[in-house]
């Protein structure tokens, strides 16, 4: 006997909702942030993610030794924050990129950098660039106009 689709639909939807899509970010990983600021300064840092998974209160927040990775699959964004030096009066880094481009050759994000007091506003501009641009060329042009840099984020292979 065949069941009507209306009876199977809740079962299918429940199975789909019960198994979230895998993410490229996992606890314990190391990610390398390579960046060029608007002024042309070339920077590179490594973010070593804690072994603990994100908490239910902050499901997309992966804590790291120097900051955190913020994953938002619905918005298709990944933000790498390196705040260690900024907490000591130095430069903070926030690399925002489209999650769907992660791992692609030449995939770049938008870099917000500056002192801790200026970083939230700069990150807001970086996310706005991602929201309104469609091509890497548009993204680079918009980032330059807003005095933002470029960045890449790559997973460091496990030893």
* Predicted model pTM: 0.83
Number of domains in the chain: 1
CA distance 159 to 157: 6
Domain-embedded: residue 59 = yes
Domain-embedded: residue 21 = no
Domain-embedded: residue 12 = no
CA distance 31 to 92: 16
Q: What's residue 10's pLDDT?
A: 43
φ and ψ at 94, to 5 degrees?
-140, 110
105-135: pLDDT as tens digits: 767 999 999 999 999 999 999 999 999 999 9
Full residue range of the structural domain in which residue 75 is found: 28-156
Domain-embedded: residue 103 = yes
Using 70 as the pLDDT threshold, list the residues of the chain that sit under it: 1-22, 106, 159
β-partners of residue 112 are 94
**Cβ distance 153 to 47 under 8 Å?**
no
Domain-embedded: residue 130 = yes
Q: What's residue 124's pLDDT?
A: 97
């Amino acid at each position: 006997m065949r069941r009507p689709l209306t009876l199977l639909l809740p079962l299918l939807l429940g199975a789909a909702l019960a198994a979230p899509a895998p993410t490229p970010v996992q606890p314990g990983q190391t990610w390398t942030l390579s960046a060029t600021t608007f002024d042309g300064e070339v920077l590179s840092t490594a973010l070593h993610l804690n072994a603990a998974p994100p908490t239910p209160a902050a499901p997309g927040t992966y804590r790291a030794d120097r900051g955190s990775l913020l994953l938002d699959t619905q918005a298709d964004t990944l933000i790498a924050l390196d705040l260690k030096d900024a907490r000591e009066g130095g430069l903070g880094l926030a690399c925002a990129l489209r999650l769907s481009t992660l791992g692609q050759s030449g995939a770049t994000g938008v870099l917000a950098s500056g002192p801790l007091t200026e970083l939230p506003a700069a990150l807001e501009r970086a996310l706005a660039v991602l929201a309104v641009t469609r091509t890497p060329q548009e993204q680079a042009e918009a980032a330059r106009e807003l005095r933002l840099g470029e960045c890449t984020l790559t997973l460091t292979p496990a030893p």
